[in-house]
Amino acid sequence: MISVAIMGHGVVGSGVADIIYSHKQKLFSAVGEELYIKYILDLREFPDSPFAERFTKNFDDILGDVEVRIVVETMGGIHPAYDYVKACLKAGKSVVTSNKELVAAHGAELLAIAKETNANFLFEASVGGGIPIIRPINQCLVANNVSEIAGILNGTTNFILTKMIKENMDLDVALKLAQDLGYAERNPAADIEGHDACRKICILASLTFGKHIYPEACYTEGITGITLEDVEYASVWGGVIKLIGSVKKVDKDKIDIIVAPMFIPNESQLSSIDDVFNGIMVRGDAVGDVVFYGRGAGKLPTASAVVADVIDCVKHLKARKYLSWIDSDNSSVIPHEDSVTAVYVRASASDRQAAYDKAESVFGEIHRLEKENAPKKELAFVTEPMTVKEFTEKLKEFESDEIKAESLIRIGDL
Ligand code: HSE
């Protein structure tokens, strides 16, 4: 029998307990031993839970119990998760977490401690919920030089954008619906401002390129500025707007990492990933493009990934699994102004034709977007790819008292 403790009995933690309970036989056949939930740490009371007598409010019960070899952290946030996880790893206990904020902020340090104490620190559920992505990158695709990863990494914003695209719903109405359906938090900032997707792409970048990439180094834009006009212009262009987390290798030791809404062509596999689903494309030099698709959030999908990590820990109680990256100072990330992209521009102008002429003289070749029923004073176009620095300079030259840019969205080369 292998004793496990679960820290946090919220949506994911209770899902982990449910799966260990309901899939007892299946999990027994996977490892040849029974998984026994010895403790559940939570400050709340759960008198009706089948595990009611195993709840504790005292972390030291878990830390001090030598029988507990594997600890699941599903509390979320940094405090007290960071201190608890660190203490468990220092005590030689393996830790499984779904906490992307923790891994994105402290992954390198926690992996180093796990290595020192011959424990495992696994976090499959921290990116893409139930979608296998950490293990495939670390194991199945290890023979490849990966040049790029790009994906829809946040279910809440994908749900909102899907409602805007398919049902012409305003962003605020779609957000309210997402909250009513329990997809978005009451305070939805981490989702709609892109921070959640940023943490996830940083984890994938760290794993793929071997150096910790901290969220501060990742240029991040959310979806709050997206309007139904932009959605329509994306359709005229031949695509859809998606919030994309992307990291690409631009040189031997340099990467370009970003989270931002992008125009994605209809031909891209990512364009048809809708609702709360996530999709992640990994570009390897041997395998080509591989796309992972599935439920990126939710109780059981996320718990499915957590329990798989627990099983992996059981199988690797003696021989450590190799999963690691080194700490870094973010110097491998290129400055955002050096990032190259084509840009969609929507502008208002007192003289539309004169504004198009000026756009051509300032930006060079542009692709005009003509939408039915567009206001007389509105124009929209897509530039050729250029650095953000170059674009910013040209935009300054383009804007005037008569011409004002209303919306700027990158074109995803996917
Ligand atoms: N809020 C996240 C999402 C949950 O919407 O994708 C999973 O990380």
| Portions of the chain given CATH number 3.40.50.720 | 2-129+300-315
Element (H, E) at 358: helix 352-363
- CA 278 from centre of chain: 9
Name the pLDDT band for 320 (thresholds 50, 70, 90). confident
CB distance 129 to ligand 1 below 6 Å: yes
Find, among 106, 152, 101, the residue nearest to 126 by Cα.
101
DSSP state of 333: B
Instruction: Tell me: pLDDT of 167 over 90.
Output: yes
Tell how strand 55-56 and strand 68-73 pair up: unpaired
Percentage above 90 pLDDT, the chain: 96
Best residue for ligand 1 mutational test, from 123, 191, 195, 200 (most atoms within 8 Å of Cβ): 191
Question: 338-411 architecture in CATH?
Answer: 2-Layer Sandwich (3.30)
Domain 2-129+300-315, CATH 3.30.930.10 — does that match?
no
Task: Dump pLDDT digits (tens) for 342-357.
Answer: 999 999 999 999 999 9
CB distance 107 to ligand 1 below 6 Å: no
DSSP state of 29: H
Name the pLDDT band for 251 (thresholds 50, 70, 90). very high
Instruction: Tell me: pLDDT of 183 over 90.
Output: no
Q: Which pTM was predicted?
A: 0.98
Q: Are 403 and 351 in contact (CB under 8 A)?
A: no
Closest-lying ligand 1 atom to the alpha carbon of residue 197: 6
Closest-lying ligand 1 atom to the alpha carbon of residue 158: 5
| Portions of the chain given CATH number 3.30.360.10 | 135-295
- Beta-ladder partners of 97: 73
CB distance 296 to ligand 1 below 6 Å: yes
Name the pLDDT band for 319 (thresholds 50, 70, 90). confident
Instruction: Tell me: pLDDT of 398 over 90.
Output: yes
CB-based burial label for 158 (10 Å; 0-12, 13-18, 19+): buried
DSSP string, 53-120: GGEES-HHHHHT-TTEEEEEE---SSTTHHHHHHHHHHTT-EEEE--HHHHHHHHHHHHHHHHHTT--
CB distance 196 to ligand 1 below 6 Å: yes
CB-based burial label for 243 (10 Å; 0-12, 13-18, 19+): buried
Which residues belong to the active site? 200
Q: Collapsing DSSP states into helix, strand and coil, what is residue 157?
A: helix
**What's the pLDDT at 318?**
82
CB distance 155 to ligand 1 below 6 Å: yes
**What's the pLDDT at 338?**
98
Percentage above 70 pLDDT, the chain: 100
- Beta-ladder partners of 68: 3
Q: How far is the CA of 302 from the centre of ligand 1 (A)?
A: 10
Topology adopted by domain 135-295: Dihydrodipicolinate Reductase; domain 2 (3.30.360)
**What's the pLDDT at 406?**
98
Task: Dump pLDDT digits (tens) for 28-64.
Answer: 999 999 999 999 999 999 999 999 999 999 999 999 9
Residue matched to tokens 């020192």: 116
Name the pLDDT band for 333 (thresholds 50, 70, 90). very high
CA quadruple 389, 269, 228, 243: dihedral sign? negative
The residue-averaged pLDDT of 285-303 equals: 96
Q: How far is the CA of 185 from the centre of ligand 1 (A)?
A: 9
